[in-house]
Amino acid sequence: MAAPQAAAMGLKHVLFVTSGLKGTGIVDDLKGQFEAAGVSVTVYDKVESNPKDYNVMDAHKMYNEASCDGFVSIGGGSPHDCAKGARVVTAHDGRNTNEFQGTNVSSS
């Protein structure tokens, strides 16, 4: 269902952000669904548990280099966190993710 929704949103090329699923067929199956819906896919599959700053920055770099226009996270919390972080970096013109540490932290 995500593939037709992505196409309906006008997305043309998405970045799949995932970890550890290579070889299960899940990513390949989803990639086929997106491509059948007319949405190109690039895969970033190097997310580590509790994603590191370089995972976020690498995903952002791949997103830009492939001229993507959307993120799709596949898997558990780590890919979701990495995709969210990469989206924040992308929305802020590639600023390093470490520049956002401590933002909006309140002490009570």
The CATH number linked to 14 is 3.40.50.1970
Decide if pLDDT at 84 tops 80: yes
Task: Give DSSP secondary structure letters for 38-95.
Answer: T-EEEEE-BPPSS--HHHHHHHHHHHHHTT--EEEEESSHHHHHHHHHHHHHHHTTT-
Residue 106 lies in a domain: no
Tokens of residue 6, six digits: 């992505």
Helix (H, G, I), strand (E, B) or coil at 14: strand
Mean pLDDT for 80-102 is 88
Mean pLDDT for 72-77 is 94
Residue 108 lies in a domain: no
Decide if pLDDT at 106 tops 70: no
Residue 25 lies in a domain: yes
Q: Residue 10's pLDDT is what? A: 98
* Domain containing residue 50: 2-98
Residue 107 lies in a domain: no
Please state whether the predicted TM-score (pTM) of the whole model is above 0.75.
Answer: yes
Question: Structural domain tally of the chain?
Answer: 1
Decide if pLDDT at 77 tops 60: yes
Mean pLDDT for 67-88 is 96
Residue 104 lies in a domain: no
Tokens of residue 85, six digits: 């972080």
Q: CA 45 to CA 15: how far, in whole Å?
A: 10
